[in-house]
Structure 1
Amino acid sequence: MSELHQHRARKRFGQNFLHDAGVIHRILRAIHAREGERLVEIGPGQGALTEGLLSSGAHLDVVELDLDLIPILRAKFAERANFRLNQGDALKFDFTQLGGEPHSLRVVGNLPYNISTPLIFHLLDHASLIKDMHFMLQKEVVERLAAEPGGGDWGRLSIMVQYHCRVEHLFNVGPGAFNPPPKVDSAIVRLVPHAVLPHPAKDHRLLERVVREAFNQRRKTLRNTLKALLPAAAIEAAGVDGSRRPEQLDLAAFVRLADQLAEQTSAE
């Protein structure tokens, strides 16, 4: 039995390896990597996407946490001049060390469900380096990323990601494309950092704070959920109706609330 087949997907890493050739081809077509581009693949697993990405002629850095997969990846790809392997935790990885021009890194990954949200937030801290991101995620996470105001999927993840990026829900992938098959459907999403933020906040950390507070009790009105941060008069001054619930507000309204908090904080 080859070394490749001896590796078993690990629950603690949330591993589900992609094996469906049709899905792999469709993802590679969506990414459309080109010669000379700088790509980063997070969690390459057994290299299902890696081969196609390397064949494009792009420079590929891969970040893999599972030590058992390192020899498998080395055996397959170490001879390729455009391949570089980084063993480590993508949640702690410093993407600035990869160098390159602003908005030049293209990030790809079949992300374990248990780290997908914190990893996206970690990457958004490096948004100025990134040209685009293509991720395989749990379908319900992609629906939250791409959500619009007014529905139950609209929340902290939607707002903070859409503050930084344009979000495209590309296509869905069934459990049968993976080994072992997960218990949920997956989807491919494209995130493209804005060259110019459509609704820049005076302080994006205050925006995060306002959004977190607002959605802590999403069934309550803004007047109630934000009372520790903003008095009712300040909410009204931001042009927001305090009797509305957080899911009814769009990104621009949350930015106005955050800017109101920034003014209030600087006046104190």
Structure 2
Amino acid sequence: MSKHDAGHKARKRFGQNFLQDESIIRRIIRAINPKPEQHMVEIGPGLGALTEEILDLTGALDAIELDRDLVPILRTKFFNYGDQFTVHEADAMRFDFQQLIQDDRPLRIIGNLPYNISTQLIFHLLSHSHIIEDMHFMLQKEVVLRLAAGPGENNYGRLGIMAQYYCKVENLFLVPPGAFHPAPKVDSAIVRLVPYKTLPYPAKDHKLFQQVVRTAFGQRRKTLRNNLKELIDSDALERIGIDPNLRPERLSLADFVKISDYLADLKG
């Protein structure tokens, strides 16, 4: 079967764009560098362009596919791998990745993620970061720029801060629209997320840290004084060395942890 199977039309509601450029596929596989002893998991394998290459190298893979019409295509195509290839017909947004853990091997997750769910799915996967070795995703270029952005950059915000709290983030390379069928209207990029074994800036209260970041970016154009006034006053911000007149995108990850730790200490 070819990378693009004329018998299956890409579905708009699933945000499907099937990868078909052989040179891009090879470049992605080189970046992932899958090995036979590793536990590989693919989200949204589509027609199996990456699946085929990974199975050739590792001999085993768990795939998570929402489109029920694709499931039998994938099972038929990779039938000769037997129970070493498992398709889970499921929504990755609600999937419990913990159930895939059978031994002490962490998961290596890959996926060409639909643009309409990519950020929610990344937040879902970050909650499983303790069982994940790394993640390689094809995403809309703007999402990758947001994931990798640092303080002061236009794309810096909640998504990047939360991803960088858990992971080292690397923007690897661009993928042009012509690499897909049908061609999307936007550029894509490959990003690598590697969860830290030890968090560089662990927050005392993780939920409170999330709340501080979410609240700080509630209105990007406003200062911390305005956005955080329900959580912390200006004097307290100054006491911990943070200028309340700054906009949220000027603060580092460490600064946000400092604010949330101050609030956690107040709660006792």
Q: Which category describes the TM-score, using the shorter chain as reference length?
A: over 0.9
Tell me how far 1:79 sits from its aligned partner: 2.2
Distance, in Å, in 2 between the alignment partners of 1:265 and 1:27 is: 47
- Amino acid of the structure 2 residue aligned with 1:65: L
How far apart in 1 are the matches of 2:99 and 2:245? 47
Aligned match of 1:24: 25
Structure 1 counterpart of 2:155, from 150, 153, 158: 153
Match for residue 258 of structure 1?
Answer: 260
Q: CA deviation at 1:210?
A: 0.5
Indicate yes or no: 2:141 matched with 1:139. yes
1:101/1:254 Cα in 2 relative to 1: closer, same or farther (>3 Å)?
Answer: farther
Deviations, residues 230-251 of structure 1 (Å, cap 9, x unaligned): 1222212322111111000000
The match for 1:191 is: 193
Q: Which amino acid aligns with 2:160?
A: S
Name the CA shift for 1:112/1:211 in 2 (closer, same or farther; >3 Å).
same
Residue pair 1:143, 1:153 contacting (<8 A) in 2 also: yes
| Deviation for aligned residue 1:205 | 1.2
Deviations 1:81-119 (A, max 9, x none): 421110000000000001145671100000000110010
Instruction: Verify the 8 A CA contact 2:165 2:201 in the aligned structure 1.
Output: yes
Q: Which residue of 2 aligns with 1:99?
A: 101
Runs of 4+ off more than 2 Å? 1-4, 100-103
For 2:108 and 2:118, locate their aligned partners in 1 and report how far apart those are by CA, in whole Å. Answer: 17
Q: Secondary structure at the match of 1:183?
A: coil
CA contact (8 A) 1:163 1:251 kept: yes
- Contact 2:145–2:171, Cα closer than 8 Å, also in 1: yes
Contact 2:167 2:194 (C-alpha < 8 Å) held by counterparts? yes
Q: Is the 8 A contact 1:16 1:181 kept in 2?
A: yes
Superposed displacement of residue 71, structure 1: 1.2
1:65 aligns with 2:71: no
What whole-Å deviation, never above 9, does each CA across 1:19-42 have from its counterpart, x for those lacking one?
000000000110000012101100
- Who is 1:228 aligned against? 230
Q: Give 1:121's aligned residue.
A: 123
* Residue matched to 1:247: 249
Q: Is the 8 A contact 2:60 2:81 kept in 1?
A: no
Report the more deviating stretch, 76-85 or 3-12.
3-12
Partner SS for 1:6: coil
* Partner residue in 1 for 2:182: 180
Matched AA of 1:170 = L
Give the CA RMSD over aligned residues. Answer: 1.6
The corresponding residue for 2:50 is 49
Change (3 A) 1:103 1:155: farther
Does the CA-based 8 Å contact 1:170-1:189 persist in structure 2?
yes
Query: What does 1:201-216 correspond to in 2, within 5 Å?
Result: 201-216=203-218
Q: What TM-score does the superposition give when structure 2 sets the normalisation length?
A: 0.96
1:138 maps to amino acid: Q
Distance in structure 1 (CA, Å) of the matches to 2:60 and 2:258: 41
Judge conservation of contact 2:169–2:191 (CA < 8 Å) in 1.
yes
CA distance in 2, matches of 1:145, 1:255: 18
Q: What is the deviation of 1:65?
A: 0.1
Same amino acid, percent of matched pairs: 59
Deviation at 1:54, TM superposition (A): 0.5
What one-letter code is carried by the residue in structure 2 that aligns with 1:14?
A: G
Deviations 1:206-241 (A, max 9, x none): 111111111111111101100011122221232211
Alpha-carbon spacing, 1:101–1:145, altered in 2? closer, same or farther (3 Å):
farther
Unaligned residue ranges in structure 2 (runs of 5+): none
1:74 aligns with 2:37: no
CA spacing shift, 1:85–1:252, aligned 2, 3 Å: same
**Amino acid of the residue matched to residue 204 of structure 1?**
H
> Residue 78 of structure 1: CA displacement?
2.5
